[in-house]
């Protein structure tokens, strides 16, 4: 029986890997081990997700914690290698584009263990983003590349990846969303936070370009205060975003802003419920761009680009960069009924991507 390592490290990985593990388990053809690098280590950023998604406890926990990109990547390399040497898996399955994704793929490739990459081929073409570098490097050393959209296939082929390595399977994050969608749409989560369904703006921001510099935080502060003057705003605050706001003296002012609710990080079911029932979402997260597209919720993305163009061409996503005035104008247009983003579900975002990945791995690996 072939042995597969499924690697998670940061919050988005959990939703991408859970349906694949479920589908692989259902085949009865593999031994599965769950590896948690501990890149996200706070309970609300990791432990709660294992419980909510029914993944079970990790078989291996590297406990790398928070650090700079270089230090964190080095810790993962150092701690993952002995586990691979001891267990000798037949495949290391990584997801997304975080430091854990690339570091674990690199260890496997150097030890001549096959690498499978869930969510391969995404490209923003902005190498100022650490995630873009991780995507490029991971795809370059992966043996089996699972793409979420056709543009991912095209990107990989243009980069010289052999076609037989590429498998268009759809989006495993949407598998998880579909599993929880009915409950999310009927949840009382908005009311718990003092908002009415369909009558609030949900905000999620964490990227360095928005929250690590005074200039970025001033834009965020200006948008939040302007938006809260128009409708209630719910803002689950990432730990590093909160630390930046406190360091630059803006946290207290936001706490005092009427109609703005600052929330702690939320578990997946509650956050999905707030997303599903929002009037609109403001984000810099790639995963949230996908979730809003799958749910048909208008999304304003506070970035100059996206590695998920299908959310713009087929979905509800609008890229509005860092222009606060443009954001507010679009929000006003949406609230006045003058703006209607596209609302088409992308191909194969049907809740069965994990099963398609399992089918590929059975054909490639099973005895």
Query: Which tens digit of pLDDT belongs to each residue from 175-185?
Result: 999 999 999 99
For the cut 70, the answer to whether the pLDDT of residue 72 exceeds it is yes
What DSSP state is assigned to residue 9? -
Instruction: Report H helices in the chain.
Output: 11-27, 47-53, 69-87, 99-110, 130-141, 150-158, 172-186, 189-192, 208-211, 214-228, 239-247, 251-255, 268-276, 286-295, 310-313, 324-335, 353-365
Q: What is the mean pLDDT of residues 156-175?
A: 98
Domains of the chain: 2-170+349-365 (3.40.50.2000), 183-335 (3.40.50.2000)
- The 10s digit of each residue's pLDDT in 303-324 is 999 999 999 998 899 998 877 8
Q: What is the C-alpha separation between 33 and 90, in angstroms, rounded? A: 11
Identify whether 206 is a catalytic site residue: yes
Per the prediction, the chain carries an average pLDDT of: 93
Q: What is the C-alpha separation between 284 and 293, in angstroms, rounded? A: 14
C-alpha closest to that of 154 among 125, 195, 175: 125
Beta bridge mates, 35: 7, 60
Lowest mean pLDDT among 8-12, 40-44, 106-110, 266-270: 40-44
Stated pTM of the model: 0.94
Q: What is the C-alpha separation between 276 and 188, in angstroms, rounded? A: 12
Q: Which residues contact 109 (CB under 8 A, 6 or more apart)?
A: 115, 141
Q: What is the mean pLDDT of residues 186-211?
A: 94
pLDDT band at 10 (very low <50, low <70, confident <90, very high): confident
Q: What is the C-alpha separation between 198 and 170, in angstroms, rounded? A: 28
| Residues above pLDDT 70, as percent of the chain | 97
User: What confidence score (pLDDT) does residue 213 get?
Assistant: 84
User: Which one of 36, 167, 206, 352 is the catalytic residue?
Assistant: 206
Q: What is the mean pLDDT of residues 201-208?
A: 91
Q: CB of 94 within 8 A of CB of 103?
A: no
pLDDT band at 211 (very low <50, low <70, confident <90, very high): confident
């Amino acid at each position: 029986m072939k042995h597969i390592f499924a690697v998670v490290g940061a919050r988005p990985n959990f939703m991408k890997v859970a349906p694949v593990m479920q589908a692989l388990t259902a085949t009865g053809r593999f031994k599965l081990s769950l590896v948690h690098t501990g890149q996200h280590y706070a309970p609300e950023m990791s432990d709660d997700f294992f419980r909510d998604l029914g993944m079970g406890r990790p078989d291996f926990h590297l406990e790398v914690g928070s650090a700079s990109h270089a230090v964190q990547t080095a810790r993962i390399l150092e701690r993952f290698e002995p586990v691979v040497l001891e267990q000798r898996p037949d495949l290391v399955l990584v997801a997304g584009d975080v430091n854990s994704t690339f570091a674990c793929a690199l260890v496997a490739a150097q030890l001549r263990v096959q690498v499978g990459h869930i969510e391969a081929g995404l490209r923003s073409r902005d190498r100022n983003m650490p995630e873009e570098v991780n995507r490029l490097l991971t795809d370059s050393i992966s043996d089996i590349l699972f793409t979420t959209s056709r543009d991912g296939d095209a990107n990989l082929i243009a980069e010289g990846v052999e076609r037989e390595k590429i498998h268009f399977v759809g989006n495993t994050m949407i598998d998880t969303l579909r599993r929880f969608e009915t409950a999310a749409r009927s949840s009382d989560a908005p009311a718990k936070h003092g908002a009415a369904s369909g009558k609030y703006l949900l905000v999620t921001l964490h990227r360095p370009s928005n929250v690590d510099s005074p200039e970025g935080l001033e834009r965020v502060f200006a948008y939040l205060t302007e938006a809260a003057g128009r409708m209630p705003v719910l803002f689950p605050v990432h730990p590093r975003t909160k630390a930046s706001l406190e360091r630059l003296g803006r946290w207290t002012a936001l706490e005092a802003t009427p109609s703005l609710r600052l929330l702690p990080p939320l578990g997946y079911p509650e956050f999905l419920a707030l997303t599903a029932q929002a009037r609109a979402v403001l984000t810099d997260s790639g995963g949230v761009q996908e979730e809003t597209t799958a749910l048909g919720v208008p999304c304003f993305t506070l970035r100059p680009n996206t590695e998920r163009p299908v959310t713009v061409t087929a979905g509800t996503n609008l890229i509005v960069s860092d222009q606060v005035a443009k954001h507010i104008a679009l929000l006003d247009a949406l609230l006045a009924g003058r703006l209607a983003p596209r609302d088409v579900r992308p191909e194969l975002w049907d809740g069965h991507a994990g099963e398609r990945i399992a089918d590929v791995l059975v054909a490639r690996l099973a005895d």
